[in-house]
A and B are shown apart, each in its own frame.
Chain A
């Protein structure tokens, strides 16, 4: 019953999803933090850019963004992101797309987190003579990060599931492998689906539990 499994590299496909998730998570955390800094900054041009970026990217389907990285960046502009083979190239383009998209949700979570920091914290910091960047970097953001662990965990879980969209540009990840497997082994349809579904449950469930625990641990007691 399980004989055909040896013909396919299921774990390898899931490993691609894991790698995409980790890289996109780190990238979108950085870019999302920069975006939120722009959105609350005293410079109007940066605020407008931040708002426009969020509203445009968040309302575009992820599929459109991922396909655009391939059709526009790669096939039109011939950008390969330093990759020398098709697999690496698709992987890097997809990671770039995920960062661009997920960072908008990271930014919105962080902005909600900034709003949970009591006004007195920022006022006290300003009274001490701290500048905007100092207020944000030393006082507000560290507290904001601690209160948004749970929302960021939801974003991370959604990102894990979203990495399947990379199938749209032919990245050899789990969903694409599943499509191939259920077409070739159609009598094992339910078995194969259950296996891939379980794979994603295994990837997302511990993330939710672990980060839920972390969220309780680091939450600012007020």
Chain B
């Protein structure tokens, strides 16, 4: 028999007894905390069936509040990633340019926008639309949320693209130049197609970050998405704030878990398949971390 982990030996009779004791103590504490929580919920009438039934036993709450909210979340996230991808790719490639002025400018912009909280960018975008455009009141929050997310995530994706291109074996560039390709041809027909597949998992992981960040728009910019539907639904169903928050959090968790699972499946699939160079830029399950390949001064991505 092999040991279950390198960190401890195969438990013998005494260790097994001790582990059972620890497990029992842990369960005791856990149940105690859960009991306190449920008791507190009961004291404040949050356990009544009437507070949970709209979500668990009916469809009205879903069709009136949650699904339109989820739609808002998906629209903002989808639009943002669709716009951030090409812009990010452009900046990522510009950063690898042979022209120092272009590489430096792109690099500075990318590092600058990665250092700024996305909320600041959203507030800024909102006010720009108020001051300088006649975009309507109702649609303005969507514009502001998307603009903030696009600026921030373009910078993050630029780093992913750069890491993707740098992760390719050097022989690819050398072979392309040896057969007489120009720099543009090298990028568009050799490096980019391979880099895009290599960075797919990291891009899907970034989508999780984007989905989570759309909640900011709901809480602070009156954008009607899932987070914003919490207060509306809770007010309508008699202050069932805990039930509403639990259901909404569960929707986010399911959505993001599916995305994370898909990202790691993609990563495994790309590593396994025989075609290609085997270069993969993983999301690594640590989505706030931009891939470690040559990340400038170690600026953090977005949690």
Contacts and interface: CB of A to CB of B under 8 A. Distances in A.
A200 interface: yes
B32 interface: no
A146 B132 CA distance: 50
A45 B26 CA distance: 8
A25 B147 CA distance: 30
A154 B298 contact: yes
Interface in A175-219: 175, 178-179, 182-183, 186, 189, 193, 196-197, 200-201, 204-205, 208-209, 211-212, 215
Interface residues of A, number: 73
B36 to A, nearest CB: 10
A140 B144 CA distance: 47
Contacts of B117: 161-162, 164, 175, 200
A60 B8 contact: no
A118 to B, nearest CB: 10
Interface in A86-106: 101-102, 105
Given A102-B303, A193-B124, A164 B119 contact: yes
Contact of A154 (B11, B19, B46, B289): B289
A189 B120 CA distance: 12
A167 interface: yes
A215 to B, nearest CB: 8
A171 interface: no
A18 interface: no
A183 B227 contact: no
> Which of A101, A126, A140, A175 has most chain B Cβ within 10 Å?
A175
A197 B215 contact: no
A157 B299 contact: yes
Interface stretch (B64-72, B92-100, B244-252): B244-252
Given A64-B248, A68-B245, A45 B300 contact: no
A131 B22 CA distance: 15
A136 B7 contact: yes
Contacts, number: 199
Interface stretch (B180-188, B193-201, B253-261, B262-270): B253-261
Contacts of B116: 161, 197, 200-201
B297 interface: yes
Interface in A23-76: 40, 42-46, 49, 55-56, 59-64, 67-68, 71-72, 75-76
B50 interface: no
A196 B23 CA distance: 49
Nearest to A151: B289
B5 interface: yes
A117 to B, nearest CB: 9
Given A186-B130, A204-B299, A46 B257 contact: no
Interface in A144-161: 150-151, 153-161
> Which of A59, A105, A153 has most chain B Cβ within 10 Å?
A59
Interface residues of B, number: 66
Nearest to B239: A76
Given A59-B257, A64-B215, A167 B19 contact: no
A49 B253 contact: no
A136 B285 CA distance: 23
A135 interface: yes
Nearest to A126: B9
A27 to B, nearest CB: 15
Contacts of B176: none
B297 A209 contact: yes
A122 B6 contact: yes
Contacts of B285: 108
A168 interface: yes
B127 interface: yes
Nearest to B6: A122
B127 A40 contact: no
B191 interface: no
Please list the 10 inter-chain residue pairs (A to B) with the smallest Cβ-Cβ separation, ordered nearest first.
A157-B300, A59-B256, A61-B215, A63-B215, A154-B300, A61-B212, A161-B117, A158-B300, A132-B8, A158-B303
Given A126-B6, A159-B303, 14 more contacts: A46-B23, A59-B212, A68-B249, A71-B241, A72-B241, A76-B46, A126-B9, A140-B7, A151-B286, A158-B300, A162-B117, A164-B117, A182-B124, A201-B112
Interface of B: 4-9, 11, 15, 19, 22-23, 26-27, 30, 40, 44, 46, 112, 115-120, 123-124, 127-128, 130-131, 208, 211-216, 218-220, 227, 230, 241-242, 245, 248-249, 252-253, 256-257, 260, 284-286, 288-290, 292, 297-303
